Amino acid sequence: QSALTQPRSVSGSPGQSVSISCTGTSSDVGGYNYVSWYQQHTGKAPKLMIYDVSERPSGVPDRFSGSKSGNTASLTISGLQAEDEADYYCCSYAGSHMVFGEGTKLTVL
Amino acid sequence: EVQLVESGGGLVQPGGSLRLSCATSGLTFSNYRMHWVRQAPGKGLVWVSWINGDGTNINYADSVKGRFTISRDNAKNTLYLQMNSLRAEDTAMYYCARDTAGLHYWGQGTLVTVSS
């Protein structure tokens, strides 16, 4: 049950686009279309941003999008805004358990 | 409005026990798989356990298997986590979350500190 691999940090200027990768194995990310992404601001509970690889819950801006290729999933945030600065975690179903990524800190410059 | 409220956290000595609760409202509780997720101070999210709607399918992370027990009372709309043989590394904020193709709703968490 190893954590999925994410970059420790990414950054971008307002209006730019950034992508966060999430690499697992054929037993988790690559084996199921059940990858989700969570945004967490400091001291707050996580918030679901993407589920089932690329679906957005109601209320999440369409600036947030998800995709997957093989064992790697990605979250792309376009038109960066200051309020997007937060920690982001991917998560995958893995048959008998769930596994989260290590987390990525997004800094809006 | 869906609400999840965790309780039961606190300071406990190594080897001790705690029972966490997650009271829910605004949802048909028995319809949903529920999860516990924890986050050590300054660290990332870690999945702990899940239980399906009728309690017949349960799974645990290897790190807690044999020490933690997840359960639910659908009549009370409440999820539980019985934690035994607690270790320093179990120190974390514990969140409950509702599963609907992704963890759509989360509580605010309850803090568990394992220390002598």
Output the CA torsion sign for B94, B99, B103, B108: negative
Which residue of B lies nearest to A6 if distances are taken between CA atoms? B44
pLDDT at B100 over 90: no
How far apart CA A20 and CA A22 sit, in angstroms, is: 7
Mean pLDDT over residues A14-20, rounded? 97
- Asked if B60's CB is within 8 angstroms of A57's CB, the reply is no
Which residue of B lies nearest to A97 if distances are taken between CA atoms? B59
Partner A, chain B 10-69, Cβ-Cβ below 8 Å: 35, 37, 44-47, 50, 59-63
Partner B, chain A 4-43, Cβ-Cβ below 8 Å: 34, 36, 38, 40
**Structure confidence at residue A64 (pLDDT):** 98
pLDDT at B27 over 90: no
> Is A45 in CB contact (< 8 Å) with chain B?
yes
Map residue B86 onto helix, strand or coil: coil
pLDDT band at A43 (very low <50, low <70, confident <90, very high): very high
Map residue B68 onto helix, strand or coil: strand
Contacts of A54 in chain B (CB under 8 A): none
> Is A102 in CB contact (< 8 Å) with chain B?
yes
Strands B10-12, B110-114: parallel, antiparallel or unpaired by DSSP? parallel
Which of A40, A92, A97, A104 should one mutate to test binding to chain B, selecting the residue with the greatest count of B CBs within 10 A? Answer: A97
Mean pLDDT over residues B60-80, rounded? 97
User: Residue type at B44?
Assistant: G
pLDDT at B87 over 90: yes
